[in-house]
Amino acid sequence: MHSVLITGSKGQLGSEIKAVSKNHPYQFYFTDKESLDITNPHAIKQYIEENSIDTIINCAAYTAVDQAESDEETADKINHIAVKHMAKIAKEKNIKLIHISTDYVFDGKNHKPYTEEDNPNPTGVYGKTKLAGEEAMMKIAPRNSIVIRTSWVYSSFGNNFVKTMLKLGKEREELGVIYDQIGTPTYAADLAAAILEILPKIDNHKPEIYHYSNEGAISWYDFAKEIMKMAKLSCQINPIETWQYPTPAERPHYSLLNKAKIKKDFDVTIPYWKDSLSACLTKLGERR
C-alpha cells in the first residue's frame, strides 16, 4: 500500500484529493503549514520517516500572484526552496514526488498551446519562483518524479474565480471581465482524479514535466458568461481589456497548455471545461 503525503491539503487541489481519496487503497497523510513546515528539511524528513511515506504530492504553493510582487522572499521559500528540499529527500529516500506547477512559467506570447518543450519565460515573481522550484527538482533529479503544470484552477473548495463570479453575479447587475487573456480552466477535482490515476504508473529515471488543464480554449469573459448562464443569474457580463483592470503582476495573455504528452504517457481522459464547470456548480448547489 502506498503511503502518500499531501502538502497544502487545505488548498483547492489538496481538498479535492482528500474528497476522492476515500475511493483509493492508499494511506493518505494530509498536511498543511500548521502540521508540517515544508520550508524546514528536517521537519519533512522526520515526517516521512515516522509515517513510512513513499510518495509526496506537493500541492503547497504561494499562489497570491499580486502579493508575491512585494513578498518575493516568502514566495521563493514556498515555491522554490521547499521544492528543492523535497526533491533532495525524495532522491535520498527513493520516493515518488509529484509537484504541481503553473502556466505562469510562460510569458503568454505564444500563438499555439504550450508544450512541455517550450522555453519558460515568467514575467512575475510568482511564475519565476515556481519555475525555480521546477528547475531545482530537474537538477536534483529524483527518480519517479514529475511536475504537472496546470492553469486557472477552481473548485468547490476555497476562493476562486467561479465562486467570486457567483457572489458578484447575485449582487450586481453588470460586471466587466477580461476578454483578452486566453487559456483553459482546470476543475481541481478532475486534476485530483488524474493524479491518483497516474500515480501507480509513474516509472522514470529522471523528472518529467506534464501539462494538465481541462479541454477547450476560452477567455475569462467567456468563462464568466457561462457561469452566469449555468447558474441562471441575470448579471450582464461586459468584455474589458487587460489594461482596464490593472494588477501588480502581469498575467500571461495566452496560456493554453498542450496536454498530448500526459494523455499519451498515462492514457488519461481529460473532460471538457463546460462539463467540469457544470459538475462543480452542481456540487455547489448553483446549477440551475
Candidates 126, 179, 187, 212; catalytic one: 126
Q: Cα separation of 139 and 87, whole Å?
A: 9
Does 47 qualify as catalytic in the annotation? no
Q: Cα separation of 254 and 45, whole Å?
A: 39
Pick the closest to residue 126 from 183, 78, 65, 187 (CA basis): 65
The three-state secondary structure class of 158 is: coil
Give me the DSSP letters along 199-239: GGG---SS-EEEE---BS-EEHHHHHHHHHHHHT--PEEEE
User: Could you tell me the three cell numbers for 185?
Assistant: 480552466
* Number of alpha carbons in the 13 Å side-chain half-sphere of residue 24: 21
User: Could you tell me the three cell numbers for 266?
Assistant: 498515462
Per-residue b/e over 40-51, b at no fewer than 16 CB within 10 Å?
ebeebbebbeee
The answer to whether the Cα torsion of 49, 52, 57, 62 is positive or negative is: negative
- In contact, 56 and 94? CB cutoff 8 Å: no
Active site residues: 126
